[in-house]
Amino acid sequence: MIPEAKHLLDWYDERARVLPWRSDPTPYRVWVSEIMLQQTRVEAVLSYFERFLAALPDIHALATVTEDGLYALWQGLGYYSRARNLRRAAQWCCEHNNCQLPDTFAGLRALPGIGEYTAGAIASIAFGKPTVAVDGNVVRVISRLDGLPGDPMALQAPVREQVRAMQPPSRPGDFNQALMELGAIVCLPNGAPLCDACPWQERCAAHAAGRELAYPAKKEKPPRRVEERLVILVTDGSKILLHKRPDKGLLASLWEFPNEPLHGRPTDSA
Ligand code: SF4
């Protein structure tokens, strides 16, 4: 094991947060946690995770839950396409793989809702495969460690190569989780990183140069699109008319008040 990997894993063993999917990393629990953690902070996921696992303890339960039951468990987490894809993937597993997750990167990657990062994370954490899992956090950490120029998209490939070179074959999943943990609680995304608490402080190029915040280069965000819509409230005094959105696209399959583009209409019909 190279010294950088040992320093990071020693730090992880001592300092990593205790999280329910880490203490009992079955493939199903790791999968559900990784999907919930997409776009969502650990603190927000914790209460949902236990409730979801209590209601749907295995892949068969997930494959057979109704859409409304699934949405009720997901309510508040947002990005409902994640829940729909979880159920579709569970249904595939029960139809084709004896209600088990595939145990290879390629098999996981082929399931709905599982991209390159998530497939690498599940394969390494749940199945001990030597796969890498590179997201924005890992790009930030490695770009600072090695002083790599470029924006996060351009850095994906070189960062993946670097992680592959550092990852110890004996603990691939722990190494991926240690990198994620370092990015989440030490080499922070917003504000100054906590370099004094970092196991890589003495080896870090950005820290040595005093330029931690220069890596990775910022990418310009496209302007936010604002859409104005006329929302129609129809009620007989006890019930309210709702409409179900199409099963594809923005907020797919969710219920809403009937609405249409505003296009210069008055905003008050009284
Ligand atoms: Fe990030 Fe600081 Fe550690 Fe470098 S020393 S990896 S900038 S926390």
Q: Is the CB of 201 under 6 A from ligand 1?
A: yes
Q: Is the confidence at residue 174, as pLDDT, over 60?
A: yes
Q: Tell me, what's the pLDDT at 150?
A: 87
Model confidence pLDDT, tens digit, residues 224-258: 888 889 999 999 999 999 998 888 888 888 889 99
- Range 189-207 average pLDDT: 94
Q: Tell me, what's the pLDDT at 267?
A: 58
Model confidence pLDDT, tens digit, residues 64-88: 999 999 999 999 888 888 999 999 9
Active site residue 181: no
Candidate list 14, 34, 50, 227, residue with the active-site label:
34
CB atoms within 10 A of CB 134: 25
Which are the contacts of 130, defined by CB distance < 8 A and separation ≥ 6? 124, 167, 169, 172
Q: Tell me, what's the pLDDT at 216?
A: 92
Model confidence pLDDT, tens digit, residues 104-161: 999 999 999 999 999 999 999 999 999 999 999 999 999 999 999 888 888 999 999 9
CB atoms within 10 A of CB 207: 20
Q: Tell me, what's the pLDDT at 268?
A: 55
Please list the residues that pair with 255 across neighbouring strands: 244
> Which ligand 1 atom minimizes the distance to the CA of 205?
4
pTM listed for this prediction: 0.83
Cα 214 to middle of ligand 1, angstroms: 12
DSSP alpha helices (H): ranges in the chain? 3-15, 20-23, 27-37, 42-55, 59-64, 67-74, 81-96, 105-109, 116-127, 136-146, 152-166, 172-185, 205-208
Q: Is the CB of 141 under 6 A from ligand 1?
A: yes
Report the residue count for the chain. Answer: 270
